Amino acid sequence: MPPVRRGLNDRVQLKALEAANQRASQQLRVAPSQAQATRPEATDSKATEPEPTEPGPLEAAEPEAPEVAASRQASLAASDPLEKARWAALVAAKAATIAFGIDALLHADSPRFAGKAMRVRAIGYLGAICIVPLAWRLLPDRGRFPRGLDTAVTIPLLLDAAGNGLGVYDDAHVDDIVHFANTAIAAGVAGALVAPQVDERWHAAVVATTLAISAEAVWEIMEYGAMRMGAHGMDLSYSDTMEDIIDSTLGAIVGGLFTLMRVPRSREDRKRVGWRSPLGA
């Protein structure tokens, strides 16, 4: 073949090869777009996927931190009229007890207080109403203030102080109410303290009732000893002693039933809630 024709053939083949390369590159650029077009369901599923929304009022929310929950409960309690009334009643009961105690200190020699050792009782009134606030203040992990327990301790003190101050202690049988209330409170507190340590909650109720009755027996023995040593004005008699024991036994049983109803059945739950929950703390 002549050299001129061979050169022409080479140029024709080179142009044909370049044209083939250009078509191949164009096909490669078009292929991804075609592949995406052949999968419409994938893009449609992404396009129709619902966007996350805020949880509705009925959906479960994340648990609050203990500090946040306690602050929220405190703010709700502060705005509750019933809660305010309960606090006002407790403050009024304490103020009245203090007033009767001061009256007894200033007028201990008055005939209405004869033979009642009112100065000793008055000091007891003023000291006893501070027991729950001081004990709560000294606790390392105080939690909420046990208003229910503080009220239960204050009411018998108020009854005793008011009964003596108004001169109706014997006529109104205030002594019976005080014995009943004191042992009920003692049994309730003892049951709350013992409950996390025993296997069954009825064990705590039995222990609480027994301790309260035993405390009443010790009290009656102390009164008898004081009378034998020359204390006057106590008006002790067999009938009075038996009435006090009966009243205190009934109060101890009520305190035991309170323990049985208030503490959780499971020991694990009793350990978790501790003694504060049954006492409203």
Mean pLDDT, rounded, for 41-57? 50
Provide the percentage of residues in the chain whose pLDDT is more than 70. Answer: 70
Is the CB of residue 208 less than 8 Å from the CB of residue 188? yes
Count Cα atoms within 13 angstroms, Cβ side, for 250: 11
pLDDT at 100 (0 to 100): 94
Q: What is the rounded average pLDDT for all residues in the chain?
A: 79
Band (240; pLDDT cuts 50, 70, 90): confident
Query: Left if phi > 0, otherwise alpha if psi is -120 to 50, otherwise beta: which for 114?
Result: beta
Band (14; pLDDT cuts 50, 70, 90): low
pTM metric for this prediction: 0.62
Of 22 and 108, which is predicted with more confidence?
108
Q: Which residues, other chains included, contact 213 with Cβ-Cβ below 8 Å and sequence gap of 6+?
A: 183, 248, 249, 252
Provide the percentage of residues in the chain whose pLDDT is more than 90. Answer: 34
pLDDT at 12 (0 to 100): 61
The answer, yes or no, to whether residue 124 has pLDDT greater than 70, is yes
The answer, yes or no, to whether residue 42 has pLDDT greater than 50, is no
Mean pLDDT, rounded, for 5-21? 62
Per mean pLDDT, which range of 2-6, 27-31, 210-214 is the poorest?
Answer: 2-6
The answer, yes or no, to whether residue 25 has pLDDT greater than 80, is no
Mean pLDDT, rounded, for 228-233? 72
Give the C-alpha separation, 136 to 125, whole Å: 19
The answer, yes or no, to whether residue 230 has pLDDT greater than 60, is yes
Per mean pLDDT, which range of 15-29, 32-46, 204-218, 228-242 is the poorest?
Answer: 32-46
Band (204; pLDDT cuts 50, 70, 90): very high
Count Cα atoms within 13 angstroms, Cβ side, for 230: 0
> Smallest Cα–Cα separation from 219: which of 240, 192, 196, 191?
240
